[in-house]
Structure 1
Amino acid sequence: MTGTDRERLAAARRDCTVILSGPRPRSMAEVLAGMAGSRYVDGPPDTYGDGGPVTELEERVAGLLGTEAAVYFPTGTMAQQVALRFGAERTGTPAVGLHPLSHPMVHERDAYAALSGLRAVRTTTAPRNPTAEEIAGLDEPIGTLMLELPLRDAGLVLPSWDELVAVVAAARAAGARVHLDGARLWESTPHLGRSLAEVAALADSTYVSFYKSLGGMSGAALAGPAELARYARAWRHRHGGNLYQQWPAAVTALQGLDAELPRLAAYVRHARTVAAALAAVPGARIHPEPPHTQAFQLWLPHPADELNRANLELAERDRVWFAGGWRDGAVPGMAMTEVTVAGPALDLDAAAVADLAGRFRTHLPS
C-alpha cells in the first residue's frame, strides 16, 4: 500500500459515522485535547522513566495484575526480549517454548535469537496454545514457556481456564518458568472466567500492551516480582528504552485504563452478537465461533483486493466502515480480516450488522 493509499483510507475512515470494526479514529489534535483535560498532566513529567505518569502507570498495572512491580517499556517487543532473557539466565537454559504463530516467531524478526542468543522450541503445530500433554512430551528441556493470550495469529483463540492451569503445571513440572504474552490480556478475562490478577498469578512474568484494547498511544509493561523489575530496568536501559520523557504515552495508557478497561467485557459480549450476524452472510466463515475476545476472524469468498476496494467505496460513498485490512488466505479465493468490536459497534444490533454486511456486498463483483 502506497502512502497515498494509506492517506485516502485514513481520511475515509475518519469521516465515517457508522463503524463496525475498530475504534473511532482520532486526529492528533483530538488526542492532545483529551490529554489537556486530564488530571494526569497536572504534575511534573517523568525523567528517564522515573516519576510522573510513568510511575503512576506502573503502580496501577502492578495493582491490577497483583504483582510486586511493573516496569514501563516503550514497546512490547522490548519487554518480551527482557522477560525471555531473564528466564534463560535464571534457569540456565536458553531454549524457549514458543508457538510457531506466536509474536516473537512471526513479528519480531527473531529478536530473541539475534539479541539474546535464545533458541526456540516449538510447542505445537496446532492453531491453538499448547496442551499440558504437549509440554510434558517435549523432547528437550526449556527454560521458559511463553503463552500468548490470546494467540492472535491463530484467530485470537484462548484456552479454557482448566487447560491454562494444566499447561502451566506441566511447565513447572518440567522445570520451566512461565511468561505470558498478554498484549490482549485485558480482554481475555471474560472467556477465562478469572480476574487479571488470578491469570497473572499463574506466571512468573506478564507483558501487557497499552495501545491494543486500551487505545493508548503506545507502550507496554512487564509485570512480576521485584527481582524481575530491577533486572528489567537495567536491560531496558541497555536496549535503548530509557527515553528522556514518555509521559504522553503513559497519560493515554492511564486514560485507557479509566475509560476502556471497564468496557471490554461489554465489547466481548457484543462480539458474539456481531459474529453471529456475520456468520449468516453467504460464504462467510467466523473463527473462533463464538469469539473468545472482542476480536475474531471473518473469512469471505473473495480476493482481498476486491474486499478492500469494496470497504473503501462504502466508506467514501456512505460514510460507513465495514472492515478493512483484508488479506488473502491459504485457500484460493478466500480472504480474511480481523473484526474488532469496540465502542462504535455497540450501537449496532444484529439487524444493523446484517444490513451493513448487505450494503458492503453490493460493492463486490457479482
Structure 2
Amino acid sequence: MDGDTGMDGDTGRDGDTGGDGGTGRAREREMRERRTAALRGCDRVLSQGRPRTVRERLAELAALADRPDTGGGDWGLDGPPDVYGDGPVDRLERRTAELLGFEDAVFFPTGTMAQQAVLRCWAERTGSRTVAMHPLAHPEVHERDAYAVLSGLRSVHPTTAPRLPTAAEVQGLDEPFGTLMLELPLRDAGFVLPTWDELCAAVDAGRGREAVVHVDGARLWETTAHFGRTLPEIAGLADSVYVSFYKSLGGLSGAAVACPAEVGAQCRAWRHRYGGQLFQQWPTVLSALLGLERELPRLPEYAAHARVVAAALGGAFAGMPGAVVHPDPPHTHQFRLWLPYPAGMLEEAGLLLAEETGRALFGGWREGPVPGLSVTEVTVAASALEWSAEEVAESAAGLLERLARA
C-alpha cells in the first residue's frame, strides 16, 4: 500500500528513516541515489528490476496510443479522460470484478484507503467494529493504525506465529469479531501462504463465528500457482477482496476492492468521504490495465523461477550460520533472505558488486531482530528470468568477496 514497496528501495516501516532526523534522511537519500545509479548502470538486475525514469514511464503509457487494439474496448483511449470516477476508472473496475469473479469492484487511489473503507463498511453491516487479523498484517505494521485512529475499528489477533491463522485458532479466539481479515500472502512473515485446505478451513471457521471474511490480497495475483486454483476460486472464498495494481503488476499506484454490489456502493460513499474521489486518474488506471495485460499472465512463470533463484542462493550461502532463505521453497515470486552481517555492510558490498561487475543481486537490507543479522526481500520478475542458477551462485560468491572489503 502507501509507501510499501518492499525492502528494495523501502524507506522503512511507516516512513521511519531512523531516529536521527534530518541526518538519517540525508543518508538514506544519498544511499538511494547511489543505489539507483548503480542499478541503472547494470547489465543484469536480479531483484525487482532496473529502476525506470519518469520519461521511460511516460513513454510506456504514450506507446499505448499507437497500438491498434487500444482505441476502444477495455482501453478507451479515443474517449474522454475520466471525471470523478467514470470512463477509464469504470473500465478498470469492471475488468477487476470480472477477473476476481465479483459483482463489483471499486477503485481507490491507495490501498490504505481501500481497506479502511471496506472494513468500515463491514463493521457497519455486522454491527461489530472488531477485526480479527494477524499482528503482522499490513494495517497493523505499515499504515500508522489508520483503521483505528480514523475509522474507530479495533483488532484482535488469532495468532502471533509468523503464518496465517489456523481454523482452530480462529475458532478458539476468546473475543467476538465481525470481520476475519486474511492477508494472502502474509508479506511480513516472508510472503507465506497456507495450503488450500488450510485456507478453506480458516474461512469456514470465520463463518462459523458469524463473521464476514475479507482478504487483504494486495499480492493475491501471484497466489494461483501455489494454490493450484484460479483467481475467481481463490477470491470466491471471501466476502470482499482488496488488490493492489502496483505491487505485483507494476502499475503507478492504485488499488481496488472487489465485493457485492451493495457493498461497492457503500465503499464509493466512503471513498468520497476519505478524499479518494479524485478529478482524474487515467494515467494510474492505464498503467493498471497494462499491468493486468502484461504482468498478470507472467506471474506463474516468475513464481516458478523464484524457486530456482532461492535454491541457488540457499546453496551459495549453505553452511553460513544464520543464513536462511524463507520460505524454502518460496510460495510466490517473492521471498526473504537472511544473512549474518550488518545491513550497512551488505548494502555496501551489494553496491560494489553492481558498480564493479554490472550485476546487482539485491535491493535494500534491513537489520533483523538479532544484532548482526539482516534481511532483504527478493522479487523475481521479468529481469530475473535472464539469470541462471549458476549465474546467481557466481554473483553470490562475488558478494561474499566484497563483504570482506566492506
Aligned to 1:79: 114
Q: Distance in 2 between matches of 1:63 and 1:266?
A: 23
Structure 1 residue 44: deviation in Å? 1.4
Q: Distance in 1 between matches of 2:41 and 2:95?
A: 35
Q: Distance in 1 between matches of 2:344 and 2:28?
A: 14
Worse overlay, 281-290 or 72-81: 281-290
Amino acid at match of 2:400: R
Task: Give yes or no for the alignment of 1:331 onto 2:370.
Answer: yes
Q: Distance in 2 between matches of 1:24 and 1:257?
A: 20
Worse overlay, 135-144 or 37-46: 37-46
Which runs of structure 2 are paired with 1:18-37 in the superposition (5 Å)?
18-37=44-63
Structure 1 residue 5: deviation in Å? 2.4
Structure 1 residue 205: deviation in Å? 0.5
TM-score (structure 1 length as normaliser): 0.98
**Any idea what SS the aligned residue of 2:369 has?**
coil
Aligned to 1:321: 360
Structure 1 residue 42: deviation in Å? 3.3
Task: Give yes or no for the alignment of 1:156 onto 2:191.
Answer: yes
- Aligned residue pairs total 365
Aligned to 1:260: 295
Aligned to 1:249: 284
Amino acid at match of 1:319: G
Task: Give yes or no for the alignment of 1:173 onto 2:204.
Answer: no
Aligned to 1:54: 89
Q: Distance in 2 between matches of 1:223 and 1:20?
A: 33
Q: Distance in 2 between matches of 1:240 and 1:146?
A: 24
Amino acid at match of 2:337: L
Task: Give yes or no for the alignment of 1:2 onto 2:28.
Answer: yes
Aligned to 2:21: none
Structure 1 residue 36: deviation in Å? 0.9
Q: Distance in 1 between matches of 2:360 and 2:283?
A: 29
**Any idea what SS the aligned residue of 1:302 has?**
coil
Which runs of structure 2 are paired with 1:107-256 in the superposition (5 Å)?
107-256=142-291
Structure 1 residue 43: deviation in Å? 2.5
Structure 1 residue 16: deviation in Å? 1.4
Aligned to 1:355: 394
1:296-351 C-alpha deviation (Å, 9 max, x unpaired): 00111111110011111112222211102111111222111011101011011111
**Any idea what SS the aligned residue of 1:339 has?**
strand
Amino acid at match of 1:62: A
Q: Distance in 2 between matches of 1:296 and 1:143?
A: 32
Which runs of structure 2 are paired with 1:79-98 in the superposition (5 Å)?
79-98=114-133
Gaps of 5+ in 1: none
Q: Distance in 1 between matches of 2:339 and 2:31?
A: 23
Aligned to 2:67: none
1:54-111 C-alpha deviation (Å, 9 max, x unpaired): 1111111101000001011000010000111011111101110010000011111111
Task: Give yes or no for the alignment of 1:293 onto 2:332.
Answer: yes
Aligned to 1:43: 79
Amino acid at match of 1:10: T
Amino acid at match of 1:224: C
1:109-150 C-alpha deviation (Å, 9 max, x unpaired): 111111111111111011001000000001111000000000
1:137-185 C-alpha deviation (Å, 9 max, x unpaired): 0111100000000000001000111001000000001000000000000
**Any idea what SS the aligned residue of 1:194 has?**
coil
Gaps of 5+ in 2: 1-26, 65-69
Aligned to 1:12: 38
**Any idea what SS the aligned residue of 1:81 has?**
helix
Q: Distance in 2 between matches of 1:164 and 1:104?
A: 20
Q: Distance in 2 between matches of 1:55 and 1:23?
A: 31
Structure 1 residue 8: deviation in Å? 1.8
**Any idea what SS the aligned residue of 1:37 has?**
helix
